[in-house]
Amino acid sequence: MEIDRRTMMAGSAALLASAPGLAKAKAKAGWYDQAIVIDALGGVGDPYSPEDQLRLGDRAWSEMVETGVTLLRDTVMPVGNLADSWGDYQKDVALKQNILNANPDRLVLVRTAADILKAKREKKFAVLLGTQDTAMVGPELDRLAQMKKDGVMTVQLTYNNRNLAGDGALEPANAGLSKLGRATIERIEAEKLLLDLSHGGAKTMAEAAAFGKRPMVISHTGSRALTEHPRNTADETIKAVADKGGVVGVYFMPFLTLDSHPKGEDLLRHVDHIANVAGEDHIGIGTDNGVLPTTLDEETKRKMKEWQEQRIKAGIAAPGEAVGVYPLIEDYNSVDRYRRFVRDLEKRGWSQSRLEKLMGGNFLRVYKEAWGG
């Protein structure tokens, strides 16, 4: 793939000029600004500067701060079975490192949980690097050690299609983990990296959850009990991950409904359901967006169309993905999305302590268990 959606959205989307009610929202949720807020899957980018500019512009930085997010996990590409996945990985991780190096006063690379707390104290933005595939690793398991040296701290086992480790979410055979997949999990855990089961086939995820010894995550998913979609996760697997001490992140994505146009209420229902299945200590958010919202202007729509067509051609598009279906929830497409999301859950009876766990406390605990600090 030539276009990474998170980079594309960050590079071409424009933030709403202002967010009405943002100051009011901040006043109503004073605890939120003191909390560790973690978005376990998204993308870091500047929608206002040239695409080749590594330094975040002042406007983008100011609005990132306004969101109140402490940490965002960014994806080191590629995904899928490509001709030179390892070479593509090396290029993209170098780009991510260059962005971090261009913003030392604003961005912090996370290697331990202590780095997250340090970023919060210093009013910086924590960036966690992770992959969404092990196709770039394959049988060369020593590459996982190199990835850790590169700053990659979380590794997703499969993407939508089959790789050598196991079947992804779109594979009709649903064949589960391979022997190499089990060996890959063992090496991920031995390196003290965090295992992510997102995008896995139903059997792959279930078998990995049973096989893994350490806490793991499903960083971005929805409830299959509510919406029978291959990118969503069955209750049994959600519970298995929770039983291992892990966390399940809920995404702000079209797959929350079969018509690919979920409302805010649909997201809240998925959050409530997963919290009830996993328990309040084992749920988080992984929006699969960037922290900055998207204005669907003509240029953005053109780039999204190009990106979607590439995904369809590559055979990695999930059911419901189509030109004109945007990877977001319109009801929460604003700079104050996280704050409004919190307020809407408060209206449903969520307590402050429960919300603090959901919005970052649970992922922070798992990160500490995975990496120390």
Question: Does residue 173 have a pLDDT over 50?
Answer: yes
Q: Are 203 and 175 in contact (CB under 8 A)?
A: yes
| 3 state SS of 154 | strand
Alpha helix (H) residue ranges in the chain: 5-12, 22-28, 30-34, 58-67, 85-101, 113-121, 142-150, 179-190, 202-211, 235-243, 264-278, 298-314, 337-347, 352-356, 362-371
| 3 state SS of 42 | strand
Q: Is pLDDT larger for residue 16 or for residue 122?
A: 122
Question: Does residue 17 have a pLDDT over 60?
Answer: no
Q: Can you tell me which residue has the tokens 């792959």? A: 204
Domain carrying residue 49: 5-371
Which pLDDT belongs to residue 23? Answer: 47
Mean pLDDT of 215-229: 98
DSSP 245-282: T-EEEEP-SGGGSTTS---HHHHHHHHHHHHHHH-TTS
Q: How far apart are the first and last CA of the chain?
A: 36
- pLDDT band of residue 53 (cuts 50, 70, 90) is very high
Dihedral sign, Cα of residue 239, residue 243, residue 244, residue 245: positive
Kindly report, residue by residue over 63-113, the tens digit of the pLDDT: 999 999 999 999 999 999 999 999 999 999 999 999 999 999 999 999 999
What's the mean pLDDT when you consider all of the chain? 93
Question: Does residue 9 have a pLDDT over 60?
Answer: no
The burial class, CB within 10 Å (0-12 / 13-18 / 19+), for 338 is buried
Cα 56 to Cα 105, 147, 336: the distances in Å are 11, 25, 20
Tokens of 146: 């190199």
- pLDDT band of residue 29 (cuts 50, 70, 90) is low
Kindly report, residue by residue over 258-314, the tens digit of the pLDDT: 999 999 999 999 999 999 999 999 999 999 998 998 888 899 899 999 999 999 999
Mean pLDDT of 207-232: 98
Cα 241 to Cα 22, 214, 236: the distances in Å are 35, 10, 9
Question: What percent of the chain lies above the pLDDT cut of 70?
Answer: 92
CATH code for position 266: 3.20.20.140
Question: Does residue 239 have a pLDDT over 80?
Answer: yes
Which pLDDT belongs to residue 109? Answer: 98
Which pLDDT belongs to residue 6? Answer: 43
Provide the number of structural domains found in the chain.
1
Mean pLDDT of 359-364: 98
Nearest to 367 by CA among 105, 187, 143, 126: 126
Mean pLDDT of 343-354: 98
Cis bond upstream, residue 78 (ω within 30):
yes
- pLDDT band of residue 14 (cuts 50, 70, 90) is very low
